[in-house]
A = this chain, B = another copy of it.
Amino acid sequence: MVTIVDVARAANVSRSTVSRALSGYGRIGDATREKVLAVAEELGYRPNDLARATREGRSRTIGLIVTDIANPFFAEATKAVANTAAELGYELLVADTNEDAEIERRATRVFAEKRIDGLIVVPAPGGSHDHLFESVGRPAPAVVLLDRRLLQYGVTSVTSDDSRAAAEAVALLASKGHTRIGMIDGNWTGSGFTKTRPRTRGSTTADRSDGFSMGMKRAGLPVRSGWMLYSSARELYAAQTAFAWMLRQAEHPTAIVTNNSDVALAVLTVCREFDLAIGADISMVTFDDANWAKAFNPPISVVSRPVAKMGEAAARELVAQIDVHPPSRPIVLPNVLIDRESVTAPRNLA
């Protein structure tokens, strides 16, 4: 690689003159500058940002740690973060933890060693997250949480108002006459599925379940045991098993809310197996406006989460903090309920 010294030699000037020509600071003669620039161009000189960063104490690089980049939600968030960071003059280091807290710790450490200026993180569920915030070993000067909250630490978080949206989804279903409404939460850290509410903290998943319950209460509807299931996030078929189990109960729901698009796909699959027509036989609303939702027959009604905006907001907030603005209060972006055709009046009322 060609360095500043090489350029200096070739242009018959000193290192500092080259630096001045390149960075445009201090005074320099026009002729000298142009010559230096020409030589640099010709030699294909590229400033060494590592050296610069070492000296300046800032790397102009931020880190993003996600539980699963392949998940459409996080893929789109990543895109927004990457684009916003680039626009703001930062590069993006990415790590995928596969929801494993141990991998998260490792990524955190390595990122810290690379001296990232800030970190956006979707913490892996379960386990302690002290490593992200303890003063000794804090991975970066600035940290922002994406789609998660960790109240104990007082970090800025970017989420969407999932509680309200879940309640709204229930209200929509109730307004069509549904009284037996179920929900499947696909973010359980256990295996298989369970009827008992897991005590999760900080997850927006919990918001959705809570919002569901609240919506049911407001509509004056009971939540029967077995109408609200928590299925494993790791096991591919857990959500299918859960929903199939739900359908086999004596009085099963006539409408279902799912907390992400993967669970929605599971529900759709099971409906096909049970020969149940979406809309006509069973109504549904899912979180996340996946790209396939509009293509289905019938098109699926969804809670569209502001993914791209969340990613962008996280990046902007992070950079603001790097520029030593004080941390913002929690940022909560609005969801929008899009009613397509998967919600109709229940059969027995028709």
Binding site for B on A (CB under 8 A): 1, 43-44, 46-51, 53-54, 57, 59, 61, 68-72, 75-76, 78-79, 82-83, 86, 91-96, 98, 103, 106-107, 109-115, 135-137, 262, 265-266, 268-269, 272, 290-292, 294-297
Chain B residues near A266 (CB-CB < 8 A): 295
Given contacts A83-B98, A91-B95, list 16 more A-B pairs with CB under 8 A. A43-B136, A46-B112, A48-B113, A50-B53, A54-B54, A61-B114, A70-B72, A70-B75, A72-B75, A86-B95, A86-B106, A93-B94, A265-B295, A268-B296, A269-B294, A272-B297
Copies in the complex: 2
Q: Which residues of B contact A295 (CB under 8 A)?
A: 265-266, 268-269, 272
Q: Are B49 and A115 in contact (CB under 8 A)?
A: yes
Contacts of A43 in B (CB 8 A): 136
Q: Which residues of B contact A290 (CB under 8 A)?
A: 292
Q: Which residue, A98, A106, A296, has most C-beta atoms of chain B within 10 A?
A: A296
Contact A93/B93 with A51-B54, A53-B50, A114-B50 known, Cβ cut-off 8 Å: yes
Contacts of A107 in B (CB 8 A): 86
Q: Are A94 and B78 in contact (CB under 8 A)?
A: yes
Pick from B95, B106, B265: contact of A291, CB under 8 Å: B265
Does A76 lie within 8 Å of B70, measured CB to CB?
yes
A1 surroundings in chain B (CB, below 8 A): 57, 115
Rounded to whole angstroms, the CA-CA distance of A294 and B267 in the bound complex is 12
* Closest Cβ neighbor of A136 among chain B residues: B44
Cα A46 to Cα B57 in complex, Å, equals: 14
Interfacial chain B residues near A111, Cβ < 8 Å: 91
CA distance A135 to B71 in the complex (A): 38
* Cα–Cα, bound, A290→B110 (Å): 33
Residues of chain B with a CB closer than 8 A to A265's CB: 291-292, 294-295
A44 to B115, CA, bound (A): 14
If A75-B75, A137-B44 touch, does A49 touch B94 (CB 8 Å cutoff)?
no
Do the beta carbons of B83 and A96 come within 8 Å of each other? yes
Q: Output the nearest chain B residue to A56 by Cβ-Cβ distance.
A: B50
**Contact assessment for B61 and A68 in the assembled complex, using a CB-CB cutoff below 8 Å:** no
Residues of B within 8 A of A48 (CB): 54, 113, 115
